[in-house]
Amino acid sequence: MEVKLKEIANIQFGHYGQPSKDGTIPYLQAKHFNEFGQYIGENDTFLEENPKSLANLLRNEDILFVAKGFRFFATLYKEEFGSAVASSIFFILRTDKTKIIPGYLVSVLNLPKNLLHFQQSGAGSSIPSIRKNELADFTFNLIPLEQQKKVVALQELYFKDIQITETLIKEKQKLFQTTISKIIN
C-alpha cells in the first residue's frame, strides 16, 4: 500500500542551539554517525541544560533524517545512547507505531534509490537541503507489520555483520603491525 510519510509520521525540525563547553547534553550532528548512519558515540558538542534543550530531548525510536548537506541518511535513535538533542541538520520523525515500525522506515529512507531522490530534490543550491513538505510528501510502499519486522531483523543482522567485519579488520591490522615490527627489530 502506497503512503505518504506525513500519513504515518510526525515531522519536526531538529533544535538550533549554541554548543557550550559547559554543556552536559550531547548535541548530535552528522559527524557523530559513521558512513552507515550508525551512531559512533563520540560526542564533542554539548548543550547547556535549560528548558529549551530539555524540551527537545530525543525519544526512543525517533528517526533522525539528515536533510542538509551532501550526505543524506536516516538513523534510529535509541534511549541506550543516553539523553541527546538533534541539531537542526536533522528532521526528527516520530512514527505511528500501529502502522509502521521505525526501523523499517529507516531502511526505506536509506535505500539508494530514495537517497538519490532526496539528493535530486535538494539540488540547486550551494548546500543541498530538503524542505519539510518534500519529505512529508515522500511516497513509499508500506508493507504489513509482520514483513516490516523481518526487514528490521535483516537490517540488524547486516549492521552486526559490519561491526564484526570492522573489528576483524582492526585485529588484522594489529597482527600485521606486530609481525612487521618483530621482523624489523
pLDDT at 123 (0 to 100): 63
Q: What is the pLDDT of residue 51?
A: 92
Q: What CA–CA distance (Å, rounded) separates 81 from 104?
A: 20
Model-wide pTM > 0.85: yes
Is 103 a member of any domain?
A: yes
Residue 178 lies in a domain: no
In Å, what is the CA distance from 4 to each residue of 8, 105, 112, 128?
7, 12, 18, 22
CB crowding 146-176: b at 16 or more within 10 Å, else e: eebeebbeebeeeeeeeeeeeeeeeeeeeee
In a domain, residue 158? The reply is no
The number of folded domains in the chain is 1
- Establish if 106 belongs to a structural domain: yes
Domain that holds residue 90: 2-142
Report yes or no on 13 lying in a domain: yes
**pLDDT tens digits for 175-185?**
999 999 999 98
**What pLDDT, on a 0 to 100 scale, did the predictor assign at position 125?**
67
- Domain of residue 32, CATH code: 3.90.220.20
Q: What pLDDT, on a 0 to 100 scale, did the predictor assign at position 124? A: 64
Cell 524542505 sits at which residue?
131
* pLDDT of res. 180: 94
Q: Write out the three cell numbers for 182.
A: 618483530
Averaged pLDDT of the chain: 93
Residue 170 domain flag: no
Spans of the chain below 70 pLDDT: 123-125
